[in-house]
Amino acid sequence: MSENYLKKYPTKEGFYKEYGGAFLPPALEEEMKKITDAYFAISKSHNFISELRSIRKHYQGRPTPVYYCNRLSEKYGGRIYLKREDLNHSGAHKLNHCMGEALLARYLGKKKLIAETGAGQHGVALATAAAYFGLECEIHMGEVDIAKEHPNVVRMEILGAKVVPVSKGLKTLKEAVDSAFEAYLKDPVNTIYCIGSVVGPHPFPMMVRDFQHVVGVEAREQFQDMTGELPDSVVACVGGGSNAMGIFSGFIDDEEVALYGVEPGGRSMKTGDHAATMMKGKPGIIHGFKCYLLQDEDGNPSPVYSIASGLDYPGVGPEHSMLKDIGRVNYDMVTDKEAIDAFFELSRLEGIIPALESAHAVAYALKLAQKDPRKSVLVNLSGRGDKDIDFVVENYGKQYGIE
Amino acid sequence: MNKLTNVFNHNSNLLSIYFTAGFPNADSTLHVLKALEQGGTDFVEVGIPYSDPLADGPVIQNSSSRALANGMSLKMLFDQLKELKNTVNIPVILMGYLNPILKFGIESFIENCRQVGVSGLIIPDLPYEIYLEKYQTLFEQNNISNIFLITPQTGEERIRKLDRASTSFLYMVSSAAVTGVRDGLSESQIQYFERIKNMQLKTPAMVGFGISNHKTYREVCRYAHGAIVGSAFIKHLETHGDDASEIIKFVKNLKNN
């Protein structure tokens, strides 16, 4: 990998090789250009940076720790470390980019933040940021996810956000994005669509990565402090891929560090039973950007599924799409079953209940550890699992001794 | 000469109507086209259904979902349009999102358009710069006009650029919420239309949003070359189906009151 990877990608037009860009109707195209210009003008200013840094330290509680999993490593071999983004305020890495996006929105004079959410983590984080900055907030969420992630819906409402249920199609993440775009198009001047991952049209994949970069920077320094070396592998789950880009970006120029992105393998490899976009998709355009895409022969996005509501998206970040092609990141997958096993293993061996999304990364780390017990693996534990407990106990409790 | 360019050279107060291919029924496409011509429509836009459109309102989205459920696809559409030249004389434009076109293969898509006699294309999510860089030659070689969209937020410099690159007409849309509608058109709409009119572009412009009756159609014609009616006609199809006499009546009412 060449030096200064982060300066090389994306291009001025938002491309990561052939992926990314902004394939948008003109009304949105104009707004994205304004946001891009504003981002470049504001985000490098001293005041913006110092305000964001102060927020991270005093409000979010950063830096989040890196933690060595003693009992887990003993059982599975290897040396397993976690970057504890579950300890970031609001319980997931999502607040890192939400505070950045909301701060930018305030600089732009926007009155209202609009976003989609899958598991509700991004929605909760954005509602948190909106409360902090005194902005209105409207979160679009599929009805299936609303039922499954009830605690997060309540949290958003307590934080003062309006939750808009989406009843189209499969009523999950993709439809929530459609609905949020629709709402944004109604008033692009006073509102801003704060996309919840490294997806969507330029500049969002770049902006969200830049705001998440702090995870990788911290983790790299902390890991070296703890061990005197760099990890052999870094593992993160990939739905859209924001937490993965955050941690990968800290190690991307370290050629000796292997990077693993873990996609949801769901119930089976049949269409509609998984969301393994990189494994099974073909390049295409969705929601204004080019990426690997699960799509039918007519170019309509395919139905997707995962036990983790934050991972079931038929597209994936454009930067991940490029990193797959150039071979810098290895993409693989983990099934629902493996993720649930890891969910309980981490809970019972370390006292940490992970989000079902992050449990995919943990499951993969356990495989790596078993494969090569001499090596170290750093997992981005992107979120905590409180939101998932009712769903898990109801559907899987018995198998794990909960009556 | 492109059929579409010709229509603009010889007429004003044009009426264009949009409908979704394969709606209300899979085989409605040609019936609807024929009836629209009989009613006096000057040219027609046929929408290619797509499951995740970024620029359509709920009425059109709903028609797209139904069309997809009916099995409509680009392949089926081109099969139906083989009879286009034997069915209507008015120009026909296709409107569709980029991904289904890329999946079909853009070269073969354009080639099919030329063969069946499609005059122009509206691809809302194909950025102008990418069109110039990658596809302009392909469109021109096949005599297919690419139609650009402008909105109230589009700056003057960009409008001038699009004007120079246009070979048929500019499509004036509005995405911003329309508030305070009085008597058909709002003041901000009128300001927008006047601003464009005063730019004295070489390319004719059509207005396409919120036009559902004769009165607004006539009013819009004071500022532009004509109007495009979409959602109102889809609603008509929802209620009346693809019955030819009802469609003819709808168009006549719109055009002549």
Please say if B45 is a catalytic residue. yes
Please say if A93 is a catalytic residue. yes
Please give the interface size between A and B, counted as residue pairs whose CB atoms are below 8 Å apart.
Answer: 101
Does some domain include residue B116?
A: yes
Instruction: Identify the CA nearest to A376 among candidates A233, A211, A183, A172.
Output: A233
B184 in reach of chain A (CB within 8 A): no
B62 in reach of chain A (CB within 8 A): no
Does some domain include residue B139?
A: yes
Is A61-91+212-400 CATH 3.40.50.1100? yes
CB of A141 closer than 8 Å to CB of A178: no
* Distance from C-alpha of A92 to C-alpha of A212, rounded to nearest angstrom: 11
Ranges in chain A annotated CATH 3.40.50.1100:
17-57+94-205, 61-91+212-400
Whole-number percent of chain B with pLDDT over 70 = 95
CB of A188 closer than 8 Å to CB of A31: yes
Does some domain include residue B6?
A: no
Pull the structure tokens for residue B248: 């003819």
Instruction: Identify the CA nearest to B20 among candidates B59, B78, B75.
Output: B59
CA torsion sign, A246 to A247 to A252 to A258?
negative
Which of A22, A24, A295 minimises the CB distance to B103?
A: A295
3-state SS class at A318: helix
Give the least confident one: A81-90, A358-367, B55-64, B216-225.
Answer: B55-64
pLDDT, tens digit (0-9, with 9 covering 90-100), for B178-208: 443 445 678 888 899 999 999 999 999 999 8
Number of H helices, E strands in chain A: 16, 14
B134 in reach of chain A (CB within 8 A): no
Q: Please enumerate in sequence order all residues whose Cβ is within 8 A of that of A348, keeping only pairs 6 or more positions apart, or say none.
A: none
Q: Cα distance from A177 to chain B (closest Cα, Å)? A: 9
Residues in chain B within 8 Å Cβ distance of A287: 52, 54
pLDDT at A403: 83
Give the least confident one: A325-334, B31-40, B56-65, B106-115.
Answer: B56-65
| Diameter of chain B measured on Cα atoms | 46
DSSP of B72-113: --HHHHHHHHTTHHHH--S-EEEE--HHHHHHH-HHHHHHHH
* Distance from C-alpha of A69 to C-alpha of A124, rounded to nearest angstrom: 28
pLDDT at B1: 63
Give the least confident one: A343-357, B32-46, B216-230.
Answer: B216-230
Does some domain include residue B8?
A: no
Interface test with B, best of A19, A23, A140, A182 (most B CBs within 10 A): A23
CB of A144 closer than 8 Å to CB of A116: no
Number of domains observed in the structure of chain B: 1
Does some domain include residue B7?
A: no
Q: Please enumerate in sequence order all residues whose Cβ is within 8 A of that of B157, keeping only pairs 6 or more positions apart, or say none.
A: none
* Distance from C-alpha of A21 to C-alpha of A284, rounded to nearest angstrom: 12
B51 in reach of chain A (CB within 8 A): yes
Residues in chain A within 8 Å Cβ distance of B176: 27, 186-189
Instruction: Identify the CA nearest to A126 among candidates A87, A152, A165, A108.
Output: A152
The CATH code that applies to domain A17-57+94-205 is 3.40.50.1100
CB of A357 closer than 8 Å to CB of A85: no
CB of B93 closer than 8 Å to CB of B46: yes
This model's pTM is above 0.90: yes
Q: Cα distance from A169 to chain B (closest Cα, Å)? A: 9
Does some domain include residue B81?
A: yes
Per-residue pLDDT of chain A (403 residues; tens, 9 = 90+): 456 899 999 999 999 999 999 999 888 888 899 999 999 999 989 999 999 999 999 999 999 999 999 999 999 999 999 999 999 999 999 999 999 999 999 999 999 999 999 989 999 999 999 999 999 999 999 999 999 888 999 999 999 999 999 998 889 998 999 899 889 988 888 999 999 999 999 999 999 999 999 999 999 999 999 999 999 999 999 999 999 999 999 999 999 999 999 999 999 999 999 999 999 999 999 999 999 999 999 999 999 999 998 999 999 999 999 999 999 999 999 999 999 999 999 999 999 999 999 999 999 999 999 999 999 999 999 999 999 999 999 999 999 999 8
- Give all strands of the β-sheet with A282-286 in edge-to-edge order: A15-16, A19-20, A289-293, A282-286
Looking at A326-355, list the stretches that DSSP marks H as alpha helix, in order from N- to C-terminal side: 336-350
pLDDT at B2: 83
pLDDT at A148: 87
pLDDT, tens digit (0-9, with 9 covering 90-100), for B85-120: 999 999 999 999 999 999 999 999 999 999 999 999
Query: With an 8 Å Cβ cutoff, are B98 and A23 in contact?
Result: yes
A18 in reach of chain B (CB within 8 A): no
Does some domain include residue B154?
A: yes
A285 in reach of chain B (CB within 8 A): yes
pLDDT, tens digit (0-9, with 9 covering 90-100), for B68-87: 999 999 999 999 999 999 99
Does some domain include residue B2?
A: no
B101 in reach of chain A (CB within 8 A): yes
HSE value, Cβ hemisphere, 13 Å, CA-based, for A188 = 22
B241 in reach of chain A (CB within 8 A): no
Query: With an 8 Å Cβ cutoff, are B151 and A26 in contact?
Result: yes
Smallest CA–CA distance from A177 into chain B, residue: B52
ipTM score for this prediction = 0.92
pLDDT at B54: 86
Which of A25, A187, A293 minimises the CB distance to B124?
A: A25
Please return the burial class of B183, using the count of CB atoms within 10 Å of its CB with bins 0-12, 13-18 and 19+: exposed
- Domain limits for position B20: 13-256
Residues in chain A within 8 Å Cβ distance of B103: 284, 295, 297-299
Q: How far is CA A206 from CA A178, A202, A282, in A?
A: 21, 7, 22
In this structure, the strands spanning A66-68 and A79-84 are: antiparallel
CB of B122 closer than 8 Å to CB of B156: no
Query: With an 8 Å Cβ cutoff, are B54 and A24 in contact?
Result: yes
CATH of residue B194: 3.20.20.70
